[in-house]
Amino acid sequence: MSNFISELASELNLRKQDHLYRQRLVVDESTAAKLKINGKSYVNFCSNDYLGLASDAKLKLALQQATEKYGVGSGASQLVCGYSQSHQQLELELADFLQRPRAVVFSSGFLANLGVISSLLNKNDSAYLDRLNHASIIDGVKFSGAKFERYAHKNVEDLERRLKKPNSGKNLVISDGVFSMDGDIAPMSQLTQLTKQHDALLMIDDAHGVGVLGKNARGCIELANTETQKVDILVGTFGKAFGTCGAFVSGKEEIIETIIQKSRTLIYTTALPAAITETTRASLKLIRTESWRRDKLNSNIEYFKRQSERNGINLSGSSTAIQPIIVGSSEASLALSEALKHAGLLVIAIRPPTVAKNSARLRITLSAAHDQNQIDLLVSTLSAQLKSLGLATKHD
């Protein structure tokens, strides 16, 4: 056992030397665009609370009222007695909102991806993954035992070459909708066309798109003007645009019922508290009726990009709320993050293995809750620190 502990200690020390050691921040309190850590306030530019709903007064009231009715926990898994009328209504309302046949709620996005993939695939089947897919998708395929290949990022030609290979089992193509570390969007129309040509199912994890993108906030599918039924499986989360927690999977009756019958991450997990699903129902109503939140978010994204251009900051070309500043080394990304923190700005450094080696970055996320003064402070501080640390900008 002592050797075991020694090996762990060595691994931890190596992480520190390589600037890959991670530490959790202890948040004292938070609002839509600010939080407090160790008594100091920061403007938060690393939250996924895109619409500022996580601290909205209407959702706080909905949670309080739902807690009075349902209590604070669900008490059991969905297939025992943890599935309430609130869960059922949320699933029905999600299906209606997304214009899809059915939906099923999960306790987290990670569990949703593990559950749906392992329910539908086995060792005789094949999965084809975009190389930049979220870790939960990769783990879900490994959990299923299916064979898998990773095609070059957003490269439909590479995907087609792989799909042309003989395969006796089922084929499932899986892609993020909005890629969480780069903020770019999957080529939805091409993916739907290609999967139909090769008799494969298409699964899209639109965690960062549903609630934000598209005329009616239905996500990447709507943004691309793609018929929703051409995407066989749609996964989304509530911990981002919805401002609550949990996730959902939507699709045809046969797919959803198979997931309910077979998904180990649904069957053997305590259900989301009904107080949370009821609050998510309230959030969904706001998403459907208060389009000003998306308008404000889009305005903030455009303002940030415009100000960054004026200040010589290299951006990736993302059109979404996720705006990465790629600096390369883990050490440099940590230094830049710390410099911003000293200025009262919280932007966490993202390092390998979350991103590829030598592509460490600051992952800036914008919210409808930010104002232009906060964005100006971010851009001016970022520009000055990039130059101070010897990191490239357009004006260098």
Domains and CATH numbers, the chain: 19-48+291-388 (3.90.1150.10), 57-289 (3.40.640.10)
Catalytic residues: 180, 208, 240
Q: What is the pLDDT of residue 166?
A: 85
pLDDT digits (tens, 9 = 90+) for 239-285: 999 999 999 999 999 999 999 999 999 999 999 999 999 999 999 99
Mean of pLDDT values over 113-123: 97
Looking at residue 159, its pLDDT comes to 97
Q: What are the angstrom distances between the C-alpha of 388 and each of 333, 341, 344, 358, 383?
A: 13, 15, 17, 20, 9
Q: How many CB atoms lie within 10 A of CB 198?
A: 16
Distance CA(299)–CA(367), nearest Å, equals 10
Does 395 score more than 50 pLDDT?
no
Report how far residue 139's alpha carbon sits from residue 137's, in angstroms, rounded to the nearest whole number: 5
Phi, psi of 42 (to 5 degrees): -135, 145
Q: How far is the C-alpha of 86 from the C-alpha of 251, rounded, in Å?
A: 20
Q: pLDDT tens digits for 297-324? A: 999 999 999 999 999 998 989 999 999 9
